Amino acid sequence: MTDTVSPEAELGRPLAGLRVIDCSRVLAGPFCGSILADFGADVVRVEHPTPKDEVRVWQPARNGYSAAFLAVNHSKRSLALDLSRPQGAAILRRLLEQADVLIENFRPGTLERYGIDMAALRHDNPRLIHCAVRAFPAGCAAEGLPGYEASIQAYSGIMSVTGEHDGGPVRCGASVVDLSTGLMSVIAVLSALRDRDRTGRGQYVEPALLRTASNLLAYQIAGYHLDGSMPQRRGSGHDMLVPYRAFDCADGPLFIAAGNDRLWGLLCDVLKLRDANNAVPLPALKERLANRAAVDTMVETATRGWNRLALMEALKAIGIPSAPVNTIADYVADETLRSAGVLDAIAVPELGEITLAGRLFGGEAPPPRRRPAPRIGEHSDAILKAFGVDDREVAELKREGIVR
């Protein structure tokens, strides 16, 4: 177990030398682990010898790899270990004695059933960072209940502000709560590691899906408590800005962000919306908010007469933000996203090259050297030996079906 990263650690790999044991499933915890792997940590994914993580079989899937599993488990090694067996739980405890970070999203009480409670972890390894990813955090009414992306979106109110104004609540298309919780987990782990640098002690951190959802609703929650107004569904629009939504052009939708007064005046020039006296209609944001439907109708009547690309170029020339409403196919067809590191490609056995989301940020550091997500138990022998389990014991564990 390392105290600090060695001076010769490569740029862009600040966590080189750290050992992470990732016992999590589905999206949030595994996404955290994949980011730590991008930063250079040795991330060992501990999973049951027979698939227990449903993400391994989510569709689309091909040749035993699911798209979702590839996306959030790249660059890890796999140890297939049956924790429900006493010998398997004992092996995990031995690994954690030498690890820097544990990521898990077990139901509360599961680790205790395995004989690995908080007191045991602190006794064995007082420097361990224990990141417990929960659905509902300790202390709230729903503490300990299971939660999934859509149920947390529903419970938190995110669904209530997502969808068309005259339609019902809908789930966000992207798994924003799960994946953002993965990011929050990375922040929590890095913060705890920094604290350990100062104090020499590890700590328990508890990211939670509901905490993430609350932070994603930052200004809606504040706005409700400021004046009591209930946030509304606005489709592609915005509660506080008008015009600020997707508008139909002759050949497809274009998102236009002209919500402040200056940009609104410029948009009126491009779309020829000034009145007979050359005045900008409804020049103040407060007026436009009060007449949202009229403004949106005015703008869309004009945009329907434009080709989307031509309008984008006209708006770009005067500094009005706009963007085509792309499909995923449209988006990933942009080859510059690969050269910029926004998208990444990994060679996966039996699949060829697969495109994934790229690194989280650019800068001087080179892009991470990623490996494909592992098969179940692909690295079991090497991992156990690296943690001090001898060949004879490994062979016995395999005979007993505890390790695969």
* CA–CA separation, 135 and 128 (whole Å): 22
Nearest to 248 by CA among 293, 311, 321: 311
Looking at 178, 239, 296, 344, which residue is catalytic? Answer: 178
Residues making up the chain, counted from first to last:
404
178 is catalytic: yes
Do residues 163 and 170 lie in contact, with contact meaning Cβ atoms separated by under 8 Å? Answer: yes
Burial annotation 255-269 (CB, 10 A radius, 16+ → b, else e): bbbbbeeebbeebbe
The 8-class DSSP code of residue 274 comes to: -
Do residues 128 and 68 lie in contact, with contact meaning Cβ atoms separated by under 8 Å? Answer: no
Nearest to 155 by CA among 164, 146, 165: 146
Determine whether 73 is exposed, middle or buried from the number of CB atoms within 10 Å of its CB (0-12, 13-18, 19+): buried
φ and ψ of 354, to 5 deg: -120, 135
* Separation in Å, CA 103 to CA 44, 329, 384: 10, 34, 18
Using the structure block, give the residue that is written with the tokens 């989510």. Answer: 58
Determine whether 326 is exposed, middle or buried from the number of CB atoms within 10 Å of its CB (0-12, 13-18, 19+): middle
Catalytic residues: 178
